[in-house]
Structure 1
């Protein structure tokens, strides 16, 4: 007689990605499973470890804003309008302000968990982030859009990588970016090491985008090195910064740019008021964290 399989008990966990920018997703609506003192930097690093953990570019905790200690400070008057908060950590355990790929996956996971109705999300749902409130919605037929807020240029800088210098625009999307347009084929660059940058311009570090323009102000291809993570297959805020830089290079302040990343394709609509990112979100698996791993 075959023994019945053992039912494992432990905290539920999901794994998913947006254009292959992948995340460990922790459902914690009431803030009781992963309070701040449990989801510390060491635990985040273990979860994101691609050999000894689940693997990911970061961790997203699905939690109501009222259970996040720093939510009032980062959301201000918008706190009451943001039921949900994207508690986002980079793979190194540090806090992250915002992630365009992550927030699409965040909404997709809320829908999959039965915490929101997809049909009710098409007009957009306000979600709290450490970069401020962001409106994210479902696209009929699949995919999600995110109102990322305006791109704000705050200077020019240079990234030094692979023995070369790449001049770019410093752009804030709630987090800092250096978007460098280059004629060097980005596929030939070595992004295994962190690019050098001006710490006076970027005191909190920076995400560096190396961008090839395929069609001026309309289509670009990029690779990105994200602070606290390394090279990733995609970066939503980086795609927005790259689209802004591609338009600015043509003296334009608005337009829609197709952005190809190693993990797929995104669309970015830019105007002086805001930036809207559209792309897919996919859940790969769901399960539990085993007691033997948690106790190790």
Structure 2
């Protein structure tokens, strides 16, 4: 049975349907529409995922030039990322690690190139990602605070800080155990502060001064992602949470261990940069059947 190839992968259990399409002729924009993305991500009727990643060269993405500008020529590859609801997403720290892992496993990138690091285009701008000592490292850009807000969840208010990681976040530090919260319902936020929606992080600071493996802080995170719902992990959310934890302690730099339901990430924060490190894995590969595509 033949059909378009499809992979399934995850980064700390933030999972993705991955569509290899290096020449842009299998999944053009006219085919990979919102309805198909939603079907692919459906956990009962499709493959099930938090989003879709199309592995494609930048030259085949219609809006790549507009979002990358002068960096277009430096970004051979573009992470065409869609949320589970079919909307486009600017950036995904877990997804871009999976993306590089697929470039390696598909033979589209050499190990030497991965060790050196490559620029990958995203709708949040170019991001450098490379193979590290334990998993993959992503240069996420600087964390940019943009005001204070609050999330309303279960009759409680959770004050937080707005942080842009190329996509918007509201990172809420709380003494309420995050494992006790019900995130089956979307937290309410100030639409004026977040006109395009926002990812909401609920964060427990486990240790503000010392974390595992010599890191300078340790937090636990749960996240409700716009266009998806609660996910097992969020890379950009981990960066926002790390920034918020350090900022609350009067620091603008440090290395934070971030525990998420799907595993553990490390975030290195500096005033002008943020580096996310963590694993990525391809779980399976196969083909989509004509029966399912034609349904």
Settle same-fold status: TM greater than 0.5. Answer: yes
CA distance, structure 2, for counterparts of residue 199 and residue 90 of structure 1 = 20
Q: How does 1:1-296 map to 2 (within 5 A)?
A: 8-140=1-133, 142-217=134-209, 218-296=217-295
What TM-score comes out, normalization by structure 1 length?
0.97
Deviation by residue 1:219-249 (Cα, 9 ceiling, x = unmatched)? 0001000000000000000000000000000
Structure 2, unaligned stretches of length 5 or more? Answer: 210-216
Deviation by residue 1:187-215 (Cα, 9 ceiling, x = unmatched)? 00000010000000000000000000000
CA distance, structure 2, for counterparts of residue 267 and residue 162 of structure 1 = 30
1:122 Cα shift? Answer: 1.2
How many residue pairs get aligned? The number is 288
CA distance, structure 1, for counterparts of residue 124 and residue 111 of structure 2 = 24
SS at match of 1:109: helix
CA distance, structure 2, for counterparts of residue 170 and residue 228 of structure 1 = 18
CA RMSD of aligned residues (A): 0.6
CA distance, structure 2, for counterparts of residue 196 and residue 120 of structure 1 = 43
Structure 1, unaligned stretches of length 5 or more? Answer: 1-7
1:121 Cα shift? Answer: 1.0
CA distance, structure 2, for counterparts of residue 228 and residue 120 of structure 1 = 33
Deviation by residue 1:83-102 (Cα, 9 ceiling, x = unmatched)? 00000000000000000000
SS at match of 1:212: strand
Deviation by residue 1:1-47 (Cα, 9 ceiling, x = unmatched)? xxxxxxx1000000000000000000000000000000000000000
1:170 Cα shift? Answer: 0.2
CA distance, structure 2, for counterparts of residue 256 and residue 123 of structure 1 = 22
